[in-house]
Amino acid sequence: MDKKIVFITGVSRGIGLEIAKCFSNDGFFVIGTSRSEFNLHDALSSDQCLHIPLDVTNRDQVSSCLSKLKEQNIIPNVLINNAGITKDQLFLKMKDEDWDDVIESNLTSVFNMTKLFIKSMIKERAGSIINISSVAGLMGNPGQVNYSASKAGLGGFTRALAKEVASRNITVNCIAPGFIATDMTNHFQGEDLDNVLDQIPSKKMGNPQQIADLALFLASSKGDYITGQTISVDGGLYMS
Ligand SMILES: NC(=O)c1ccc[n+]([C@@H]2O[C@H](COP(=O)([O-])OP(=O)(O)OC[C@H]3O[C@@H](n4cnc5c(N)ncnc54)[C@H](OP(=O)(O)O)[C@@H]3O)[C@@H](O)[C@H]2O)c1
Q: Which of 13, 61, 196 to mutate to test the pocket of ligand 1 (most atoms within 8 A of CB)?
A: 13
Q: Which position among 28, 29, 147, 157 bears the catalytic label? A: 147
Residue 131 in contact with ligand 1 by CB distance below 6 A: no
Residue 127 in contact with ligand 1 by CB distance below 6 A: no
SS3 content of the chain, % helix, strand, coil (to 5): 50, 15, 35
- pLDDT, position 201: 98
**Distance (Å, rounded) from C-alpha 146 to C-alpha 95?**
10
- At 54-87, the pLDDT tens digits run 999 999 999 999 999 999 999 999 999 999 999 9
Pairing of strands 127-132, 170-177: parallel
- At 135-155, the pLDDT tens digits run 999 999 999 999 999 999 999
Q: How many angstroms does the Cα of residue 141 sit away from the middle of ligand 1?
A: 18
Buried b (16+ CB within 10 A) or exposed e, 196-229: eeeebeeeebbebebbbebbbebbeeebeeebbb
Are 117 and 76 contacting, i.e. CB atoms less than 8 angstroms apart?
Answer: yes
Residue with CA closest to ligand 1 atom 34: 34
**Distance (Å, rounded) from C-alpha 138 to C-alpha 233?**
12
Residue 225 catalytic?
no
Whether this model's pTM surpasses 0.85: yes
Residue 81 in contact with ligand 1 by CB distance below 6 A: no
Q: How many angstroms does the Cα of residue 21 sit away from the middle of ligand 1?
A: 16
- pLDDT, position 240: 84
Are 10 and 86 contacting, i.e. CB atoms less than 8 angstroms apart?
Answer: no
> Any idea which fold 5-232 has?
Rossmann fold (3.40.50)
pLDDT at residue 98 greater than cutoff 70: yes
Are 117 and 7 contacting, i.e. CB atoms less than 8 angstroms apart?
Answer: yes
Domain ranges of the chain: 5-232
